[in-house]
A and B are shown apart, each in its own frame.
With several copies, the nearest count.
Chain A
C-alpha cells in the first residue's frame, strides 16, 4: 500500500486530504501520478502542475523517484510559511 497526502489548494481541489492506493513494483512518482489522473479525471491534473512539490516519507523528492511499498507520498504547492 502507498499512502497519499494532499495539502492546501491541492487538497481543496481534490476534495480530500488522503487516500491509499495499491503498491506497484518499480513505479516512479511520475507514473504513479499519471495513473491517478487517468483513473480520477482531469481535476487531478493539478498533481502534475509544474510547481507541485512531491515528497516521499517526508522528504522532498524528484518525480522520477521510485516508490517502495508502505511509502507515504505527499503532493503540495510551494510552501508559504514564516
Chain B
C-alpha cells in the first residue's frame, strides 16, 4: 500500500480531500478549485478531472447469469486512515507534477448504477502536470486508500476483489 512516507513534505499546493455519502456537482467543484486562487494572479492554464461511476455491466456473463443484474455498490471505508492516505497520494503526485490545487472526493455508502463514486480534480499551469497528476492520483488511490466495495446484485451480494490490473497500473508509475 502506501510505501511513500518520504513524500510527506511541505507543499504549497492547495489540497482538499473529502469522504462523503452525498453526491457532488462537477461545476461547483471546479469553481471551488479555482476559488483557491487570487483572481488577479490566475496562473492556472489546465484543469484535469476524472470521475469514476458505478457501471451496470459485468464483463463476465457467468456472473450475470448467477447473480442477476448489478443494482448498486455499497462502499465502506476506514475513517481517518482514508483521508490520511488520500492526502499522501495527492502530496506524492504534487511532488512529481507540481500543481496549484487539487480536490479528491470519494463517496461511501449505497450507490446505485450510474452514480458517481470518485472525483479527482487537478489544476496546474500546464496540461502535462494536470493530466499526469490526475491519472497518478486515481491509479494510486485504487491501491492505497482503504475503501472496500460490495457489489449488490439482484440475487446476491459479494465483496469486490482487488484487480491485478490496478496493481499493474500503479507499478507503471514506479519506472
Give A contacts to B, CB under 8 Å.
5, 7-9, 51, 53, 55, 58-60, 74, 76-82
Q: Which of A59, A60, A80, A81 is in CB contact (< 8 Å) with B161? A: A80
Q: Is the CB of B162 within 8 A of A81?
A: no
Q: A60-B1, A80-B148, A82-B52 are in contact. Are A7 and B78 (CB under 8 A)?
A: yes
Q: Which of chain B's residues 153-172 have a Cβ closer than 8 Å to chain A?
A: 159-163, 166
Q: Is the CB of A8 within 8 A of B148?
A: yes
A7 to B159, CA, bound (A): 11
Interface size on B, residues (CB 8 A): 31
A74 to B146, CA, bound (A): 11
Q: A5-B78, A7-B78, A55-B81 are in contact. Are A79 and B1 (CB under 8 A)?
A: yes
Q: Which residue of B lies closest to A61 (CB)?
A: B1
Q: Nearest chain A CB to B21's CB is how many angstroms away?
A: 14
Q: Is the CB of B2 within 8 A of A81?
A: no
Q: Is the CB of B145 within 8 A of A82?
A: yes
Q: Which of A5, A59, A74, A80 is in CB contact (< 8 Å) with B149? A: A80
The contact string, 1 if C-beta is below 8 Å from chain A, for chain B 63-83, is: 000000000000111101100
Q: Which of A9, A51, A76 is in CB contact (< 8 Å) with B146? A: A76
Q: B144 at the A/B interface (Cβ < 8 Å)?
A: yes
Q: Is the CB of B144 within 8 A of A79?
A: yes
A8 to B160, CA, bound (A): 10
Q: Nearest chain B CB to A8's CB is how many angstroms away?
A: 4
A53 to B81, CA, bound (A): 13
